[in-house]
Amino acid sequence: MLDLKKMLENIDEYAEKLAQKKFNLDKNYFLNLNDKISKTRIQCQDLQTQRNKGADQIGLLMRDKSKNHAEIDKLKSEMTVVSDKTKALESELSDLEAELKDYMMHMPNIPDAKTPIGKDEDENVVLEYVGEKPTFDFTPQEHHILGEKMDIIDMDRGAKLSGTRFSVLKGAGARLEMAVRNFLFDCSIENGYTPVSVPVLVGRNIMEGTGQLPKFEEDMFRTESNGKELFLIPTAEVPVTNLFREEILQEDQLPIRYSCLSNCFRVEAGSAGKDVKGIFRQHQFDKVEMVRFATPEQSWDEFNSLVNCAKKILDKLNLHYRVVALCTGDLGFSACYCNDLEVWLPGQNRYREISSCSNMLDFQARRANMKYKNKETKKNEYIHTMNGSGMPIGRTIIAIMENYQQKDGSILIPEALKKYLPYEKIDANGQLV
């Protein structure tokens, strides 16, 4: 959620920036509503004061036995009127506040000044290329072709179990997956993160805290059982970021760096027909997520360090990639700045997103009410949150398969992975040798 005060002071600037993220601010509605709320609030507080004083007075009279009942009864009936009025106004005020909150919960975070301005992903800006494209003396295949040939990825049986966008990994495929999971998990620990293991089913308020709800409900898997509603998380960012909701941390505790390997579930509404082959875009996948909590002063250093953590992982695997700054139109709902790492996939002959690192500043902290006590000012201030993928397991597997494939149809095991999968390669028949 945005800072309401700042927004009211710089309403035009905010309107413009929100428009860059495709949110059309209804300025009149917004200002009127605010105006109505502050007027109602003042009236309401006056009435509440009146009610409190009246009640106290009655209490005093009742203690004083010499007073007659007629006087007390008269006051009581007067206070009934005040009390009714107060209740009516209280409920009016809470309706108005709920309306404003609902409107604000649908507003995205505003882009940071260094986010390039642009309509869509075509206007993202490449910041850096790292490593070099591998060369092949044959035509490299896409991962799903290799996977089916070697019988280590079974899309058909995945679909049989759960429908499209589900898959089954077998033999060397399943072992490669486990190796990648362990590798990425250990990478996050080497990079200084404390691993956490969290629920993948969470309540509605948790999804609101990180910004998935209320706006993107159709993108989320929802369960309901015994009247209890729970959502399947689309990323570990959701439960991990919410760990400190409704808490006030000490400044010394920050920064906090957590990593989490979890299942992720996405409906992928609106991406029908896109990336339908293979395991690139699945309803269910595993991912190591890195989440950081920081003070506003630490925020950007922490963010840059987070991006470096992600880069280090791809470097270890010797993969070629580029770093991209997302433009305003492509930026996620909660983010104010985002760098994507796009790995080179020779089979697809293009760069594809493998990690997305975003700084949310205080946007999520406001929604989830996460604060820290500033040592100097002694005030409680909102913390900053940021997160990035410490790689999705599936896409890392794809990158390895496509970049390490050989002319004979085998796939070499990257050096960094041999600790977890002590073989030279997966041969053309899908055997580890």
Partner RNA sequence: GGAGAUGUAUCGAAGUGGUUGUAACGAGACGCACUCGAAAUGCGUUUGUCGCGAAAGUGGCACGUGAGUUCGAAUCUCACCAUCUCCGCCA
Instruction: Name the residues that contact RNA, by CB under 7 A.
Output: 4-5, 38, 41-42, 44-45, 48-49, 51-52, 54-56, 58-60, 62-63, 76, 79-80, 82-83, 226, 228, 248, 371, 373, 380
Burial class from Cβ neighbours inside 10 Å (0-12, 13-18, 19+) for residue 17 reads buried
CA distance 25 to 37: 18
Question: Is the backbone peptide bond immediately before 255 cis, with ω within 30 degrees of 0?
Answer: yes
* Contact (Cβ atoms closer than 8 angstroms) between residue 333 and residue 306: no
CB of 92: closest distance to RNA in angstroms? 13
Give the residue with the Cβ less far from RNA, 274 or 378.
378
Give the residue with the Cβ less far from RNA, 92 or 275.
92
Query: Among 262, 259, 390, which residue's Cα sits nearest to residue 317?
Result: 390
CB of 107: closest distance to RNA in angstroms? 17
Give the residue with the Cβ less far from RNA, 223 or 349.
223
CB of 51: closest distance to RNA in angstroms? 6
Give the residue with the Cβ less far from RNA, 228 or 274.
228
Give the residue with the Cβ less far from RNA, 15 or 58.
58
Give the residue with the Cβ less far from RNA, 232 or 307.
232
Token representation of residue 88: 């009516």
CB of 425: closest distance to RNA in angstroms? 36
DSSP state of 244: G
CA distance 218 to 231: 11
CB of 248: closest distance to RNA in angstroms? 6
CB of 64: closest distance to RNA in angstroms? 11
Give the residue with the Cβ less far from RNA, 83 or 304.
83
CA angle 146, 278, 199 (to 5 degrees): 125
CB of 61: closest distance to RNA in angstroms? 9
CA distance 42 to 90: 11
Give the residue with the Cβ less far from RNA, 4 or 267.
4
* Contact (Cβ atoms closer than 8 angstroms) between residue 85 and residue 54: no
User: Collapsing DSSP states into helix, strand and coil, what is residue 348?
Assistant: coil
Q: What are the Cα distances from residue 300, in Å, to 139, 196, 211, 305, 348? A: 42, 23, 21, 8, 34
Burial class from Cβ neighbours inside 10 Å (0-12, 13-18, 19+) for residue 103 reads middle
77: left (phi over 0), alpha (psi -120 to 50) or beta: alpha
Token representation of residue 270: 């609106």
Give the residue with the Cβ less far from RNA, 63 or 114.
63
Question: Is the backbone peptide bond immediately before 108 cis, with ω within 30 degrees of 0?
Answer: no
Give the residue with the Cβ less far from RNA, 287 or 371.
371
CB of 39: closest distance to RNA in angstroms? 10
Query: Among 321, 330, 340, 347, which residue's Cα sits nearest to residue 402?
Result: 347
Give the residue with the Cβ less far from RNA, 263 or 308.
263
Token representation of residue 334: 């909660």
CB of 363: closest distance to RNA in angstroms? 15
Query: Among 316, 49, 76, 22, which residue's Cα sits nearest to residue 180?
Result: 316
CB of 296: closest distance to RNA in angstroms? 15
Q: How many CB atoms lie within 10 A of CB 371?
A: 19
Phi, psi of 426 (to 5 degrees): -100, 120
CB of 378: closest distance to RNA in angstroms? 8
CA distance 291 to 260: 8
